[in-house]
Amino acid sequence: MAALWRAGPMTADAVVAELAHAQQWREPTIKTLLNRLLKKGAIHARKDGRRYVYTPAITREQWVSHESEGLLDRLFGGRIAPLVAHFSKHRKLSRKDIADLKRLIAELDDD
């Protein structure tokens, strides 16, 4: 998805070329992934001669929203506080992270 969001419409060969180099994935793996994304409705394909051109059907923001909601629901019962507590215990929060969280909480309190 990142390749399609970044580069726009791409043929399967272009996606393979990018991911084979960046991810060290093999062509069959990449084509299987494209087919799964197509079946899920995350990408569109249009025929261009003998090849297909793939484009994203969802924005990165839509995907992040969907995935983050799923993560919260599956792992933390839909609650954000346990998520933040988990990360604060298992991954050091930087001063900037803490400041950003405090600012976000203050903004939410103002609403």
- Residue 50, exposed/middle/buried by CB under 10 A (0-12, 13-18, 19+)? exposed
Domain range summary for the chain, segments of one domain joined by +:
2-56, 60-110
Q: Which CATH architecture has domain 60-110?
A: Orthogonal Bundle (1.10)
Q: What is the pTM of this model?
A: 0.69
Q: Which amino acid is at 34?
A: L
- For 57-85, the pLDDT digits (tens) are 999 999 999 899 999 999 999 998 999 89
Structural class in CATH, domain 2-56: mainly alpha
Backbone angles phi, psi at 58, to 5 degrees: -130, 155
- For 79-109, the pLDDT digits (tens) are 989 998 998 898 888 999 999 999 999 999 8
CA dihedral 94, 71, 69, 67 (to 10 degrees): 90
Report the C-alpha gap between 83 and 81 in whole angstroms. 5
